[in-house]
Amino acid sequence: MAKHNISEEQIDEELLKKRIEASHSEGDSSEGDEDDLSDVADNLDEVADEVVINSTTVRVVEKKEPKYASPNAEKAMSIMNIESNIQRYMMEIEKLKEEMKMNREMFTDAVTKDAGYHELDQQVKDLNKQKTTVKQRIMKQPAVALVVDKMGAIKEEIKSADEMLSGYLQEYQKETGLDQIVTEDGTVLEIINVTKVVRRVKGKE
- 58-103, pLDDT tens digit by residue? 444 444 554 555 678 888 888 888 888 888 988 999 999 999 999 9
Mean pLDDT of the chain: 77
Q: Is the pLDDT of residue 134 over 60?
A: yes
Q: What is the largest CA-CA distance in the chain?
A: 129
Q: Is the pLDDT of residue 4 over 50?
A: no
Asked whether 186 and 180 are in contact (CB, 8 A), the reply is no
* % of the chain at pLDDT higher than 90: 46
Taken in order 160, 161, 162, 165, the sign of the CA dihedral is positive
What is the rounded distance in angstroms from the CA atom of residue 4 to the CA atom of residue 6? 7
What is the rounded distance in angstroms from the CA atom of residue 37 to the CA atom of residue 30? 11
What is the pLDDT, as a whole number, of residue 56?
A: 42
Name every residue whose Cβ is closer than 8 Å to that of residue 11 and which is 6 or more positions away in sequence. Answer: 37, 40, 58
What is the pLDDT, as a whole number, of residue 20?
A: 61
Instruction: Please state whether the predicted TM-score (pTM) of the whole model is above 0.85.
Output: no
Q: What DSSP state is assigned to residue 144? A: H
Cβ neighbours, 10 Å, residue 177:
7
What is the pLDDT, as a whole number, of residue 148?
A: 95
pLDDT tens for residues 149-189? Answer: 999 999 999 999 999 999 999 999 999 999 999 988 999 99
Q: Is the pLDDT of residue 49 over 50?
A: no
